Copies of this chain bind each other. A is one copy, B any other.
């Protein structure tokens, strides 16, 4: 698809200048831009790049002398970072998959697909599954028995949705994402070493061999509207009640959401985040990459963690956290500074002990 600068401006609520009839069919960094690309030069830093590239049109910073930079047309947008959303949506070339139901897909006659749903090659859709209007089920996907997918679902290749999972509208899942694996829940006939260890925090003495009996996952997974899942991430079903992900929450690659977890609205969970069983996460929570959260705890609304944070206990709303263990970010930043001076601290204390001993003896 190609668009005139005028059409782009209208779609984005931007102001357009110059030869607004010029068409573009892609976006590019200024130095890499060809004549059909809209260059992204939202900061004065990019002026040199524009000179290197061959863009005829660009999104520029407010007040830029775009003509002096050799452009024929320019766009100015109110919040440059935000405009990336509309612009990339407009120019996304998509996956190039055809429509309709591919003859190699295995769709159970007991599944209910809205008339315009497309199903890619070698996908499997089980009995009782219901898929809403405008949905795209990618190649090699799996949709389990009685699973429900809302309108406008988009599943990339190889996504797997387990039996009885229920998902709202406009769900997007990247390749290999899995919803509805069984929870990791086992129990020993007698009190286990883990239960004992959690009670005492002490070492394990004389434990006999013990084997683990499986607790089956009878709960499902319910997911709200406008949720996205990253590549190869996993969301387990609940034991009795459902695991839940709220509206608007976005989950990145290789994230693991345990059984019974409840996640609020509009959260961001970045790559390799892990949330252990039965933990509750509030709304608008942002967990940076590799954050881990213990089981059976609570994280309040608007909490933000930094990369690698390990959360071992509840966090009240609004906190900015970092570290292992998770502490307020300013505390952890102080601790990190302390690490670098720790050797000197030990040396100082050793020196002080000597001096004080001398002082004491001399008296």
Contacts and interface: CB of A to CB of B under 8 A. Distances in A.
A106 B361 CA distance: 88
Interface residues of A, number: 154
Contacts of A244: none
Given A146-B96, A158-B160, A289 B271 contact: no
Q: What is the count of identical protomers in the complex? A: 3
Contacts of A82: 187-189, 213
Contacts of A283: 209
A336 to B, nearest CB: 5
A150 interface: no
Contacts of A234: 176, 230-232, 253-254
Contact of A215 (B88, B254, B258, B265): B88
Interface in A72-128: 79, 81-82, 84-86, 88-89, 91-97, 102, 104, 106, 120-122, 124, 126-128
Contact of A254 (B254, B265, B306, B342): B254
A216 B271 CA distance: 17
Contacts of A6: none
A339 B327 contact: yes
A274 B276 contact: no
Interface in A293-342: 294-295, 302-304, 306-308, 310, 312, 318-320, 323-325, 327-336, 338-342
Given A139-B142, A240-B27, A294-B307, A250 B193 contact: no
5 contacts: A95-B144, A157-B160, A174-B181, A201-B333, A204-B304
